[in-house]
Chains A and B, each alone.
Chain A
Amino acid sequence: MNLQTTYLGLPLAHPVIASASPLSATFDGIRRLEDAGAAAIVTASIYEEEVAADTAAREAFGTAGADSNPEVTSYRPPHTGSPGALAAHLELIRRAAASISVPLIASLNGVTREGWTGIATELQAAGAAAIELDLFHLPFDPNESSAEVERRLADTAHAVCAAVRIPVAVKLFPYLTAPAHLAAALEAAGARGLVLFNRYIEPDIDLEGLNFRPTLDLSTPAEIRLPLMWIAMLAGRTPLCLAGGRGVAGPDEVVKYLLAGADVVQTASALLRHGAEYIGRLVEGLTEWIEARGASSAAEIRGRMRANRFAEPESLFRAHYRQMLLLGHPAQPGPEHPT
C-alpha cells in the first residue's frame, strides 16, 4: 500500500499528521508523536500575546520590589539564558527538529505584523520545516469590510512568506465571505497550503459570576462537515495544498477528507482522546478502506468526491440540501471534469 503524499512540498509517508495541540507542546510529546507514526507534526502554537504577557510578567518579577528597600536589590533569582517563553519555544523547535526524522511544522499565532514576521523568521532559524500561520481573527470592527478583512489576512500571509524561505500554510477560520477568493489571494501572497479550519474558543457565559468562561471541547465527527465541504469545493481549483483539520474521530474521517481532496489530514482531538498511538489506528483504518476497495494507494482515492468532479458543482451543495429535504436521495458524482 502506498500512502505517500506531499504537503507544502514536503514528502510524507502517509497523510495523517498531528496538529497543534498540547501533545506537541513538549519535546517528549513530539517524540511520542513521531514514535506513534505521525507523518508530520505541527507544534503547539506560539501566541504572540502569550510571549508578550510572559515578557511583561518576567519584567514585573524583575522589577517588583527591586531596589525598593536597602536589603533587596531584586527578588528574582538569577536565571541566566532565559529570555522567556519565545526562547523556550524556539529551543523546543531546535531540539525537536534536530531529533525527529519527520517534518516539524511550527504553528504561529501572531497579532502584530512584527510579531508574525519576527517570530516566523526565528521559527525558521530554529529548524522548522514549514510554518502554519494560525490566522485567528475576529472581524468585529464594523468599519472593516469583508474585503478589507481578507486583504489583511492576505497581507499578513504575504509578509510572512516574504520573510521566510520555508513553505507556509495558512490555517483559516471558517466564517469568511469568499473563501475561494481568499484562497487565491493567499496563494498569490506566497502561501503553499491551507488548513481548514481552526476552531474558535467560543466562550460560554457563567451565569453565577457573569463572566465569559473559556471553553474548548474536543471536536466531534459532526464538525467535519464544514471543512469537508470547503475542501471539496476548493480541491482541484487551487494549487494550494489542502489539509483537513477538524472532527477526525477515527479512520472514516481521514478517508472522507482525502476523498474530498485533502492532501493531508490533521488531528488533535482523536489523539488527545486515545493517545498519540491512535495515529497508527488511523493509518491502519485508511489502509483497510483503500484495500477493501481494491485500490493500492492514497493517491487513487484523493479528490474522488471533490466538487468539480460533479456535473453541477456550484449547485451541488444547494441541490444536496434540496434533495435531502424533498427526496432523501444523495447526489452522485458524475464523470470527472477537467480541472
Chain B
Amino acid sequence: MARKRTVDGNTAVADIAYRVNDVCAIFPITPSSPMAELADQWSAEGRTNLWGTIPVVQEMQAEGGAAGAVHGSLQGGALTTTFTASQGLLLMIPNMFKIAGELTPCVFHVAARSVATQALSIFGDHSDVMAARATGFALLGAASVQEAQDLALVAQAAALEARVPFIHFMDGFRTSHELNTVEPLPNATLRAMVDDDLVRAHRRRALSPERPVVRGTAHNPDTFFQAREAANPYYLATPGIVQRAMDRLAALTGRRYGLFRYNGHPDAERVAVVIGSAADTLRATAAHLNERGERVGVVQVLLFRPWSAADFLAALPASACRIAVLDRTKEPGAPAEPLCLDVARTLGEAVARGDRRQLPLIVGGRYGLSSKEFDPAMAKAVFDHLATQNPHSGFTVGIVDDVCHTSLPVNTAFDIEPPGIHRALFFGLGADGTVGANKNSVKILAEDPDRHAQGYFVYDSHKSGAETISHLRFGNAPIGAPYLLKSADFIGVHKFDFLEKRDVLAAAGPGAVVLINAPYDAGSVWDRLPRPAQRQIVERNLRLFVIDASGLAQCLGLGPRVNTILQACFFAISGVLPREEGIRRIRRSIEETYGDKGKAILDMNFAAVEAAVAQLHEVKVPTAVSSTQELQVFVPKDAPEQLKRIAALQFAGRGDEIPVSAMPPDGSFFGATTQYEKRNVAFAVPVWKPDLCIQCGQCSVVCPHSVIRAKAYDAALLESAPPGFPSAPVNARGYPDKRFTLQIAVEDCTGCGICIDHCPARNPLEPGVKAINFAERLPLVEAGRRQLAFFESLPEHRREQVDLHLSRGLQFIQPLFEFSGACAGCGETPYLKLLSQLFGDRLQIANATGCSSIYSGNLPSLPWRAGPDGRGPAWSNSLFEDNAEFGLGMRLAIDQQTVIARELMRMLAERIGPKLAGEILTAPQRTDSEIALQRGRVDALRRVLGDPADAPARDLLAVAEYLLRRSLWIVGGDGWAYDIGAGGLDHVLAQDRDVNILVLDTEVYSNTGGQASKATPLAATAKFAAAGKRTPRKDLAPQAIAYGYVYVAQVALGGGAEQTIQALRDAEAYDGPSLVLAYSHCIAHGFDLRDGIKQQHRAVASGYWPLFRYDPRLRKSDMNPFRLDSTRPRLPLEEFAYRELRYRVLAQTRPDEARALLGQAQAAVDERYRLYEDMAARDGTRFHPYWQDPAVTQEKIAKESIR
C-alpha cells in the first residue's frame, strides 16, 4: 500500500503549487482562501520549494491587484501562482488576457464558485471559470481531491512546456473542502515532472536590461489581428503536451489521466458529458445501471481549453446516440451552456466531414449551481431522461422548476452506496467543535493503512453558532462519492433542539446507532423526544444513546465545546473501531493535539473522555411512539406568503424542496425573518433586576443582537401581563403612571455577556450583582417567550417622544435590525442597529460584501425589518469592490428623482395648493422634527392628488417619496474601505453628494478569517502578517479631512455611546459626503468578546483610537471644524494591546521584535494624537473655507429651476 494521507482539496493543491513556485500573489476569497493561507503559513515556517528557496507570499489589496502582481512577477521571470475564485477570478480577467497573450506560463488554482447574480453565493459551480474561458488560459478541471492534487502538477508541467497559462480548477467546497484519503506526491515526482530547462527558459524570457525587449506594445489595425493569430501553434500543441505530462505522471504514480476520460459500457447508447466532481457520481451510477443491463457511459472532460475535438471524439463511443451534456453554470439566453455547445459543434463537424457516421441527439442541462447537491439519483435521472421519447435541452436536475418545467423528475429513493462503507452523520452547532472533531476523527481512522475516509461539512447561514452537518464515510477502498449521505449507520445529534426543528433521524439506516446530547438522563429523554424522532427510532429499530455533553462540558470548564466528549462517545459506540481501541485512539489523538498546550488542557480533555464513557447511557427504547409533539413550526400562519414558502422551509432544513416559483426572480426579499428563528444558542442569558436598574439604556445600545429592548408604558396595561412580567416605575420625573420594562429576548440571545459587562448599575451591597446578570437559559425559555410576546404587544414609542441623542432615549426606539447571525459579541452590529434606530424609516443602505453583508443578507436569516408603519431600511449589496460607487449611484438616482419631483411640484403647485407646495419645496429637513413635518406634508400631497388620471400628477405620485430626505448610507468593513474599494471610496468622497459612509473597522478581513488589511495595526499579527504587521495602519481620517468639505468622525461605542450617536446624527444631517470610522472589536482579535466594550474603552483611553468629529459646517461661522472628543492618552498602548492575542502572540514568538514594534506603535499613537491635538487647537482660518458658499448654492437652485 502506497503512503497516503487525508487532506482536503485546498491542501492537496496548495501543497503542489507551493513547491513549484517562487511567488504567490493572492487576495483571500472563499473557498480558495485556505490555499493562500497555507502557502503563507508554510512560508512563515520557512518551508522551501523544489529548488530550496522559500516562496514569497504577497497579499494584495484586491484580486485585480493580485493578478497585476502575478503578471509583473511572471514578466520578472519568477515562477508565480495565485489562488482565487468567483468574483476574484473575474477581477483577474483583464490581466489574464495579457498573461496569456504574452505566452507566459503559470497556473492559477481556482476553487470554482458561483458568480454573484441575483444573489451572492460562496458555494461551488463553474460560472467563474466559464466566464474566463475567453482569456486564452488553458482550463484543466479536477473531479476529486486526488485529481486536484495530481492535475495541479500536470498543469504546472504542461504550462512551462506549452507556454500557455493554465487555470487549474476543482469544485469549490465539494472538492476544495472535502477531506479524502489521497496518495501524496513526493518531491522526487515533482522534480521528474517539472523540467528545469523549461524553468530556466521561463527565467530567460524575463524582462531584463541585459537583453532588453519592449513588451506590452500598442497595435493599430495593421498588425493586431496577425499578432493575435501568431500564438496559434502554441494552443494547437497544448493538448498533446498536457497528455504527455499526464502520461509521465502515470509512469511515476500509476494514476492514469487523459484529456477526456470515458467510463461505462463499451457500446453505450446514452452518454453523459461533464466536468468536475459530478463525473464520479455519474460514473458510479453508470456502472450500477450497466450492471443491470443498461448501456450508458460518461465522458469526463479534464482539459476544457484548448478544446481537443479529436481527443473528445476518440473518447466518445461510436455507439453513443444520445448525449446529455451537463454544465455546472448558466448562460442566460444562450442556445446551450458552454460545454454543450462545444460538444455539439465537435460532433456536428465530425458528422459533416464524414468522420462520424451519425449525429447523436445532444441535449444540454444544468446541475449543481452553488453546490446544489448532485447525487446518484439525479445522475440516474439524466440517463433516464436520455431514454425518454423526446429528451429536451436546457433541462435542470436537482431542483423543482415549476415555472418553466425544465427540471427532470428524480427518484430520491435511488441509492447506490456500496456495502462495506461506514457512514456517519453529525448535527452540530458552529461553536461546539463538532466539525473540528469530525475532521480529527477522519484523520484518526484514516491512519490505518487499509482504511480510507471522506469528510464533508455543510453549514447554515450564520457567521457563528451555525448548524453544521458533517457527512463522514469510512471504508477499505478509495471513496469517490462526492455527494451527501442519504443513509447513515450512526447519527450524532449534538444539540437536542435540532430534534425539535427537523427530522434529523430521517437519514438513519435500519438499526443505526443514534447519539443525542441532551440535558436529560436515559430514563427521561424518551418522553422529551418529539413525535417524528420517536417514530424514526421505533420504526427503524434504532439504538439510542444519550449523554448530557453540554452539562458535562460546563462542569469540566470546556464551555460550549462538547467536541471531545461527543467524539469519545462516537468512538465508543459507533462500531467503526472496537470500543477500547476507539478510546485508545482518541486519547492518543488528544495527546498529539493538546500535548504542547499544557497539562491543564490535556487533563481537561482526558477528563472529558473519561466522563463521556462513564456518563454515556443507552436508552431502553419503548415499542410504541408516545409523544404528541410535532416539529417546530417556524412561522405563524398569518406570515407573509414569501416567508411561508421560503424561510419557513429553510429554517426546517428543507430549502432544497423550495420550487422555482417561490423564488423572487429579481432577488428581492422581505426581511424580518430572524425573529422566527429562535435559535436558543446561549447556555446562559441576561436576567433583568428591575430594582437595581437605572434605566440608562447602556445595555440596550451595546447589545450586538438587539435582544435587549425597553419600553415605558401606562401602568394600567400591566393588568393583562403574564405572571412574573418584570417592570419598574419609570425613573424620570413627570411620569408617575408609567412603568418601565427591560425585555430580553431569551431565545434570540447569543449569551455574549457584553450587556452584563457594560451595565453600570451594581448592587451597592452585593458584589458582582448588577442590574442584569447571567442565568441559565433553559429554565427561562417558557416564561421568556410569554413575556416577550406581551412586551411586543405594548405600544411602540414615537420618535418625537424620546431624546434621540442619548442611549437612555434610544433604548425606547425599536431596532429595525435584529437577531442577526453575527458572532456572539460582534463589534459591528451595534452600529447598524443604531443606524436603524436613528434613521430606520428613511434609511437606504449600500452594503459592501463582507461580514456585514453575510449577517445582513444571507438567506434565510434577514435581520433588517420594517417598523410598525411598514417603513424600514432598504438594503442591497452589490460587490466587495464597488460599494462606494454603488452607493453613490443610489444617491444620484435619489437626487435626480428629487429634482423631478420638485419640478412636478412646481408645475402642479396650483392644484396642490400653493401653501402646501411651497412648504414642501422649502422645508428644511435636517432635524427629526423637520422630517416628521415633511412626512406629514408629503402624505397630505398624496391625499390632495388622490388617484389622478393625468400624467404629471401620476408622475409626481411615482416620485413623491423623494420629497422626503432619504438617508443614504454606504456600509462596509475595512477590507472594502481600506483595500479593495479604496479607490471608489476616495472618488465618492470627492463628490459633493449627500452620502454617508460607515466603515465598520475590525482591522482585518473578518469574513474570511482574519487576513490582514491596510487597517491592521502595527505590531499586531494577522493572517498574511504572521510575523506582526510591520507598517502602521492607514490613517484614513486625515485623508478624508484633507478634502476640507467631508464630514469625518471616528467613533467607538466603548469610548462613549453618546459621541457615536452624535457623530452618526451629524454625518447624516450634513449635506455632503460623510465618513464615520467605527471601531469594531472582532473575534479575530483574540480576546473574550464579553470584554469588547471595555477593550474599546481601552483603545480610546490609550490614544490608539482617538474620538473626533470634523464637521465642515462649523466653517460657516469660521470656527475650527475639528473637535477632539477623547482625552489625551492616559493608558500605555501595551495595556490595551496585550490584552489581545493578536498582539500577544508576537511578544511570545519574537519578543525583541514585538517590543520594537510596540515601541514604534506607541510612538505612532503619540504622534498621531499630537497631530490631532494640533489640528484641534488651530483657529478656524487654518481650514478650508465653508464650501457650500451661498452664491454657489443659489446657482445650483437657479440651475434646478431652469431644468
Query: Which of A57, A60, A61 has most B Cβ within 10 Å?
Result: A61
In the complex the two chains form, is A88's CB within 8 Å of B599's CB? Answer: no
Q: Which of B37-45, B207-215, B937-945, B1103-1111 binds A?
A: B37-45
Query: How many angstroms between the C-alpha atoms of A313 and B1155 in the bound complex?
Result: 52
B596 within 8 A of A: yes
In the complex the two chains form, is B1148's CB within 8 Å of A85's CB? Answer: yes
CB distance from A119 to the nearest CB of B (A): 10
Q: Which of A67-75, A181-189, A227-235 binds B?
A: A67-75
Query: Which of A69, A70, A84, A209 has most B Cβ within 10 Å?
Result: A69
Interface range on chain B: under 10, 10 to 19, 20 to 34, or 35 or more?
A: 35 or more
A26 within 8 A of B: yes
The residues of B that contact A328 with a CB separation of less than 8 Å are none
CB distance from B857 to the nearest CB of A (A): 14
In the complex the two chains form, is B30's CB within 8 Å of A77's CB? Answer: no
In the complex the two chains form, is B436's CB within 8 Å of A56's CB? Answer: no
A145 within 8 A of B: no
The residues of B that contact A75 with a CB separation of less than 8 Å are 1006, 1009-1010, 1083-1084, 1086
The residues of A that contact B466 with a CB separation of less than 8 Å are 68-69
The residues of B that contact A83 with a CB separation of less than 8 Å are 596-597
Q: Which of B224-232, B981-989, B1017-1025, B1179-1187 binds A?
A: B1017-1025
In the complex the two chains form, is A55's CB within 8 Å of B1149's CB? Answer: no
CB distance from A115 to the nearest CB of B (A): 8
In the complex the two chains form, is A52's CB within 8 Å of B122's CB? Answer: no
In the complex the two chains form, is B1151's CB within 8 Å of A67's CB? Answer: no
The residues of A that contact B768 with a CB separation of less than 8 Å are 210
The residues of A that contact B430 with a CB separation of less than 8 Å are 65, 67-69
A-B contact count (CB 8 A): 153
Query: How many angstroms between the C-alpha atoms of A52 and B594 in the bound complex?
Result: 13
B413 within 8 A of A: no
A59 within 8 A of B: yes
CB distance from A233 to the nearest CB of B (A): 39
Enumerate B1130-1189 residues with CB–CB distance to A below 8 Å. 1141-1142, 1144-1149, 1151-1152, 1155
Query: How many angstroms between the C-alpha atoms of A321 and B128 in the bound complex?
Result: 91
A277 within 8 A of B: no
B601 within 8 A of A: yes
Closest to A87 in B: B1148
Which residue of A27, A52, A77 is within 8 Å of B600 (Cβ)? A52
* Contact A67:B468 (CB < 8 A) given known A72-B1009, A75-B1083, A77-B1010: yes
In the complex the two chains form, is A78's CB within 8 Å of B40's CB? Answer: yes
Query: How many angstroms between the C-alpha atoms of A211 and B768 in the bound complex?
Result: 8
Which residue of B41, B173, B600, B1148 is within 8 Å of A80 (Cβ)? B41
The residues of B that contact A74 with a CB separation of less than 8 Å are 1009
CB distance from B602 to the nearest CB of A (A): 10
Which residue of A27, A71, A77 is within 8 Å of B1152 (Cβ)? A27
B431 within 8 A of A: yes
Contact with A along B455-466 (1 / 0, CB 8 A): 001010011111
The residues of A that contact B1145 with a CB separation of less than 8 Å are 58, 77, 79, 82
B739 within 8 A of A: no
* Contact A26:B1155 (CB < 8 A) given known A68-B466, A75-B1009: yes
B762 within 8 A of A: yes
Query: How many angstroms between the C-alpha atoms of A86 and B1084 in the bound complex?
Result: 23
CB distance from A85 to the nearest CB of B (A): 6
CB distance from B26 to the nearest CB of A (A): 15
Query: How many angstroms between the C-alpha atoms of A73 and B435 in the bound complex?
Result: 10
In the complex the two chains form, is A65's CB within 8 Å of B1086's CB? Answer: no
The residues of B that contact A114 with a CB separation of less than 8 Å are 599
Query: How many angstroms between the C-alpha atoms of A56 and B1087 in the bound complex?
Result: 11
A316 within 8 A of B: no
* Contact A80:B468 (CB < 8 A) given known A59-B597, A72-B1009: no
Query: Which of A26, A28, A56 has most B Cβ within 10 Å?
Result: A56
CB distance from B111 to the nearest CB of A (A): 12
Closest to B462 in A: A69
Query: Which of B762, B1007, B1145 has most A Cβ within 10 Å?
Result: B1145
B823 within 8 A of A: yes
B598 within 8 A of A: yes
Which residue of B173, B439, B598, B1010 is within 8 Å of A86 (Cβ)? B598
Query: How many angstroms between the C-alpha atoms of A77 and B173 in the bound complex?
Result: 22
* Contact A67:B1155 (CB < 8 A) given known A59-B597, A77-B1022, A88-B1147: no
Query: How many angstroms between the C-alpha atoms of A68 and B494 in the bound complex?
Result: 14
B1008 within 8 A of A: yes
Which residue of A56, A72, A85 is within 8 Å of B601 (Cβ)? A56
Closest to A80 in B: B45
The residues of A that contact B435 with a CB separation of less than 8 Å are 67-68
A329 within 8 A of B: no
A63 within 8 A of B: yes
The residues of A that contact B601 with a CB separation of less than 8 Å are 55-56, 59
Query: How many angstroms between the C-alpha atoms of A54 and B1083 in the bound complex?
Result: 17
Which residue of B44, B1086, B1147 is within 8 Å of A78 (Cβ)? B44
CB distance from B662 to the nearest CB of A (A): 24
Query: How many angstroms between the C-alpha atoms of A79 and B1147 in the bound complex?
Result: 11
A51 within 8 A of B: yes
The residues of B that contact A61 with a CB separation of less than 8 Å are 1086, 1141
Query: Which of A76, A77, A114 has most B Cβ within 10 Å?
Result: A77
In the complex the two chains form, is A55's CB within 8 Å of B598's CB? Answer: yes
Closest to B1006 in A: A75
Enumerate B24-41 residues with CB–CB distance to A below 8 Å. 30-31, 33-34, 37, 40-41
The residues of B that contact A211 with a CB separation of less than 8 Å are 767
Closest to A58 in B: B1141
CB distance from A54 to the nearest CB of B (A): 8
Query: How many angstroms between the C-alpha atoms of A122 and B1167 in the bound complex?
Result: 42
Query: How many angstroms between the C-alpha atoms of A72 and B1083 in the bound complex?
Result: 12
Enumerate B415-443 residues with CB–CB distance to A below 8 Å. 430-431, 433, 435-436, 439
Closest to B595 in A: A83
In the complex the two chains form, is B1147's CB within 8 Å of A76's CB? Answer: no
Query: Which of A51, A66, A72, A112 has most B Cβ within 10 Å?
Result: A72
A335 within 8 A of B: no
A294 within 8 A of B: no
CB distance from A302 to the nearest CB of B (A): 38
Query: How many angstroms between the C-alpha atoms of A84 and B595 in the bound complex?
Result: 13
In the complex the two chains form, is B1023's CB within 8 Å of A84's CB? Answer: no
B177 within 8 A of A: yes
A64 within 8 A of B: yes
In the complex the two chains form, is B1023's CB within 8 Å of A65's CB? Answer: no
CB distance from B485 to the nearest CB of A (A): 18
The residues of B that contact A58 with a CB separation of less than 8 Å are 597, 1141, 1145
Enumerate B802-854 residues with CB–CB distance to A below 8 Å. 823, 854
In the complex the two chains form, is A70's CB within 8 Å of B597's CB? Answer: no
* Contact A71:B1009 (CB < 8 A) given known A52-B600, A58-B1141, A83-B597: yes
Which residue of A60, A78, A112 is within 8 Å of B1023 (Cβ)? A78
CB distance from A187 to the nearest CB of B (A): 30
B1088 within 8 A of A: yes
Which residue of A66, A79, A85 is within 8 Å of B436 (Cβ)? A66
B332 within 8 A of A: no
The residues of B that contact A80 with a CB separation of less than 8 Å are 41, 44-45, 1026
List 5 A-B pairs, minimum CB-CB distance, nearest first: A68-B430, A88-B1148, A67-B435, A78-B41, A72-B1009
Of the A-B pairs whose beta carbons lie under 8 Å apart in the complex, a sample of 26, sorted by A's number, is A28-B1152, A55-B598, A58-B1141, A59-B597, A61-B1086, A63-B433, A65-B431, A67-B468, A68-B431, A68-B465, A68-B466, A69-B459, A70-B31, A70-B177, A72-B1007, A74-B1009, A77-B1023, A77-B1024, A78-B37, A78-B1023, A79-B1149, A82-B1149, A84-B598, A87-B1148, A91-B1151, A210-B766
B-contacting residues of A (Cβ < 8 Å)? 26-28, 51-52, 54-61, 63-88, 91-92, 112, 114-115, 118, 209-211
Given A68-B463, A78-B1023; 10 other pairs, CB 8 A cutoff: A51-B598, A55-B600, A59-B597, A65-B431, A65-B463, A70-B31, A72-B1010, A76-B1086, A79-B1146, A210-B762
